[in-house]
């Protein structure tokens, strides 16, 4: 199974600042996905990130607020820009296992915005 | 886009009973339906999945059924144990390996 490392695991941020979350995978993967999980809620897809192309964002999420980079097949970043308390959430990186297509998740980055 | 509805939102059973969680989806092009278990403070983990060319799949105490005509799929857990207590999410996608759309989750509590 894919091993996914996310940094930071948690952070407390001030309103109006930005934070970049990193996702590192131990194998090359074509597609990486970013999800948000608000407290006690389900997982909501933010965007799909393919290497070498612009990320594809879901309805309600825009590139200016959640810019994503995908410089290679093992790494991606998600930036949460101009944060407000409503952005307090767990952000999870996910990748699809080659062959089975099973989605594995990182441990998540818990952001608290004050 | 795809919309996945999940019921019930909470489910309490006695140890040894069966538990059933049901989901419906809206996109007839969806062909892959996994179920994830998320324990408190941990990441979601796949417990079983089913593809549209199969009507039922079983793995020990866990089974999943799919009715493509009705756009329903269900998770069945038999002989529940306290360690089955967690939040369960159903999901759907066009094919394995693509982005999943999740249901709202079911909090299962198994009391001994």
Interchain proximity A43–B97, CB inside 8 Å: no
The pLDDT tens digits for A20-56 are: 999 999 999 989 999 999 999 999 999 999 888 889 9
pLDDT of residue A2: 85
Q: Show residues of chain A in contact with B97, CB under 8 Å.
A: 31, 96-97, 101, 103
pLDDT band at B101 (very low <50, low <70, confident <90, very high): very high
* Residue entry with tokens 């049901």: B22
Per-residue pLDDT at A66 exceeds 90: yes
Interchain proximity B44–A43, CB inside 8 Å: yes
User: Hey, which residues 24-83 in chain B have their CB within 8 Å of chain A?
Assistant: 32, 34, 42-46, 49
What is the overall mean pLDDT for chain B? 96
pLDDT band at A99 (very low <50, low <70, confident <90, very high): confident
CA distances, B41 to each of A81, B87, B94, B98 (Å)? 25, 11, 29, 25
A37 to chain B, minimum CA–CA distance in Å? 10
A60 to chain B, minimum CA–CA distance in Å? 13
* B1, B45, B96 member nearest A100 (Cβ): B96
Which residue of chain A is at minimal alpha-carbon distance from B41? A107
- Classify residue A82 by its DSSP letter: S
The pLDDT tens digits for B43-95 are: 999 999 999 888 999 999 999 999 999 999 999 999 999 999 999 999 999 99
Q: Work out the widest C-alpha separation in chain B, in whole angstroms.
A: 41
Chain A interface, best mutation among B99, B102, B104, B107, by max A CB count within 10 A: B99
Interchain proximity B34–A103, CB inside 8 Å: yes
pLDDT band at B3 (very low <50, low <70, confident <90, very high): very high
Interchain proximity B44–A107, CB inside 8 Å: no
Residues in chain A: 114
Q: Which residues of B58-80 are buried (b: 16+ CB within 10 A; e: fewer)?
A: eeeebbbbbeeeebebbbbbeeb
């Amino acid at each position: 199974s894919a091993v996914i490392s996310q940094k930071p695991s948690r952070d407390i941020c001030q309103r109006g600042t930005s934070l970049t979350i990193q996702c590192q995978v131990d194998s090359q993967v074509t597609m990486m996905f970013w999800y948000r999980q608000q407290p006690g809620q389900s997982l909501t897809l933010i965007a799909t990130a393919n290497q070498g192309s612009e990320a594809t964002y879901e309805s309600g999420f825009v590139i200016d607020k959640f810019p994503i980079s995908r410089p290679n097949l093992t790494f991606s970043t998600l930036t949460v820009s101009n944060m407000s308390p409503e952005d307090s959430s767990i952000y999870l990186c996910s990748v699809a296992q080659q062959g089975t297509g099973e989605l594995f998740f990182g441990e998540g980055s818990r952001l608290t915005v004050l | 886009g795809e919309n996945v509805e999940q019921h019930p939102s909470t489910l309490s059973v006695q140890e040894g009973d069966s538990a059933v969680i049901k989901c419906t989806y809206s996109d007839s092009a969806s062909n892959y339906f996994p179920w994830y278990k998320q324990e408190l403070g941990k990441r979601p983990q796949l417990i079983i999945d089913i593809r549209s060319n199969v009507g039922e799949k079983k793995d020990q105490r866990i089974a999943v059924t799919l009715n493509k005509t009705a756009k329903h799929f269900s998770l069945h857990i038999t002989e529940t144990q306290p360690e089955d207590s967690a939040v369960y999410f159903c999901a759907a996608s066009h094919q394995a390996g693509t982005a999943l759309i999740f249901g709202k989750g079911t909090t299962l509590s198994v009391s001994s």
